[in-house]
Amino acid sequence: MHFITGLKIVLVLQISFFAFIAFSAETGIYEIPVSDYVTGRFNPEKHPLFVNLSNTDIPVARKNLYLRKEAALALSKMLQDFRKEYPKIKIYVVSATRNFYSQKNIWEEKWNGKRTIAGIENIKAMKGDMGKAKAILQFSSMPGTSRHHWGTDIDINSLTNEYYEKGDGLIIYSWLSKNAQRYGYCQPYTSGRTGGYSEEKWHWSYIPLAKNFLNDWNKIYKETEGSFLEAIPFDGSVYIKELAPLYVNNINPECQ
Ligand SMILES: [Zn+2]
């Protein structure tokens, strides 16, 4: 009896051990399954591999912005070097990791007409869920499909492309376009792509980690035929399986 109980414990420990290894190889985070990680179903505030940017030298627009530690370290170095050249111009982070639930809030507020959408006067008057989804998808991801879930992506200063076309914005954008890759950062949503999200000059991604999470996302999409995205439904999620891979993968080739 005792032996059998002992054997069960050994077996459970062995199974847990293999689960541990399977998860750790992908994300570096042991207790979160990869499919939960890449769809943002975890709390970055509680995870030791994430850092609160308020505890670093990275300037922030608000409290409680989190990034993976490697991404924050590279960003800190990049901004230090920018400041050496342009001490008077401020670059600061306005958004970093957003989990599934915060992305769900953004998406549903837009879907239900409670938050404005560029170029759309009244989304509730629009006919057809596909058209509504595509209108929101110009600049916002569906929950479960955002690079902001991964702890690798940031938005800076201003969420309008016009800001980066003159003055400080232009200096910042030109400097980042030339230098960001030296620190592992890249602009995923450039102009001139043939689909996906519109150009976002404010969104930068730490590629050494993000490229792995993009591969994981695609691998799980293929294995589950997209059904891993349906674990938690949200308003307007009806076309998620069809639209998500087109938007997730339509990025600047230099960021892959
Ligand atoms: Zn962004």
For 184-205, write each residue's pLDDT tens digit: 999 999 999 999 999 999 999 9
If asked whether residues 86 and 148 sit together in one domain, one would say: yes
Rounded mean pLDDT of the chain? 89
Distance (angstroms) between ligand 1 centre and the Cα of 191 equals 15
98 Cα–ligand 1 center, Å: 9
Distance from Cα 159 to the centre of ligand 1, integer Å = 8
Q: Specify whether 19 is located in the same domain as 127.
A: no
Q: Which residue has the tokens 């232009």?
A: 170
**What is the domain count for the chain?**
2
95 pLDDT above the threshold of 70:
yes
Q: Is residue 244 part of a domain?
A: yes
116 and 26 inside one domain? no
Query: How many angstroms is it from 60 CA to the middle of ligand 1?
Result: 15
pLDDT > 70: what percent of the chain?
A: 88
Question: What is the share, in percent, of the chain residues with pLDDT greater than 90?
Answer: 77
Cα of 148 from ligand 1 centre, angstroms: 6
d(CA 153, ligand 1 centre) in Å: 7
Q: Are residues 126 and 227 in the same domain?
A: yes
Domain that holds residue 88: 43-255
Residue 148 sits in a domain whose CATH number is 3.30.1380.10
CA of 203 to the centre of ligand 1 (A): 5
**What pLDDT is stored for residue 126 in this prediction?**
87
Among the listed residues 20, 33, 94, the one whose alpha carbon sits nearest the alpha carbon of residue 64: 94
Residues 17 and 130 in one domain: no
CA of 73 to the centre of ligand 1 (A): 19
In a domain, 242, yes or no: yes
Q: What distance in angstroms lies between residue 147's CA and the mean position of ligand 1's atoms?
A: 8
In a domain, 156, yes or no: yes
Residue 153: per-residue pLDDT: 98
Query: Are residues 52 and 24 located together in one domain of the fold?
Result: no
